Homo-oligomer: A and B are copies of this chain.
Amino acid sequence: MNVGDIINFLNEIAPWRYAEEWDSVGLMVGSRESYVTKILLCMDVTSDVISEAAQCGAQMILSHHPFIFSKLKSIDMETFKGEQIANLIKNNISVVSAHTNLDTAPGGVNDTLAESLHLTNSRNLKPYMPKGLECDLGMGKVGELQNSKSFDEFVIDVKKSLCIENLRIIGVKPKKVKKVAVFCGSFDDDLESLKSLKVDVLVTGDIKYHIALDAAQMGLCIVDAGHFATERIILPKLRDTLNKRFKELDIICSKMETDPFTFA
């Protein structure tokens, strides 16, 4: 098994060409020819995660967020990115990132977020058509809870499903929650599309102030459960999918990474 085999399999479940034009996906550091027995899955390739990979003997890190997003004009080891690259190379660790292709793929991050919240009849919040492709992808999902519940109950469920203790609420709380939209990571700010769907609540992360204010003015309700929590639910699922295909591989989710935000 080598890095290239994993990259090819990822192309089957979340084709690289599904990624947005501005995105950066695929092999970030290393070689398709590197032999792999152990893979570490993570949201972000932090210095802690690299140490974890080195210590546990993983030859490959598979991250959701791109390790190299802004192109590099130098590899300066006095910067954290340069130091991380040097550590990866010296430890012979390859890095692969699967980002918006994984967000939008069937069974990807948005689908998994909808499942985590027990939505039924999940369909695309809005269609997403990568340039030059004919495919039925979507950004965000919309679905229904089996039984409607009170907003307070819903908030408790979200916390439990996403393993978080705190979240932020925007707008007017609905009396009952039945129809729910989800948008993993960071909502794309298209409040008009959201409004036309007449959902009771949107669960997403990373909402900025001015969007929050407009949403409230438009009578919408948003639960900001955090960028980290609304996406990290993909990791166990990805681990299982990879394990099913590559039975001989040892695949683990990072134990070192946490949400960079804590509440006080």
Q: Which residues of A contact B (CB under 8 A)?
A: 24, 26-33, 44, 46-47, 65, 68, 71-78, 80, 82, 85-86, 89-90, 155, 166-171, 185-186, 205-210, 212-213, 215-218, 224, 226-228, 260-264
Contact = CB atoms under 8 A, between A and B. Distances in A.
B167 A264 contact: yes
Chain A interface, DSSP helix/strand/loop, else mixed: mixed
A65 B262 contact: no
Contact of A28 (B68, B74, B86, B168): B74
A246 B212 CA distance: 35
Copy tally for this chain in the complex stands at: 6
Contacts of A263: 166-169, 263
A78 B28 CA distance: 12
A76 B217 contact: no
Contacts of A216: 46, 260
A43 B207 CA distance: 18
A18 B74 CA distance: 19
Nearest to A69: B210
Given A26-B74, A27-B76, A80-B218, 12 more contacts: A28-B74, A29-B74, A30-B77, A31-B77, A32-B78, A33-B78, A44-B213, A80-B217, A86-B89, A90-B90, A155-B264, A167-B263
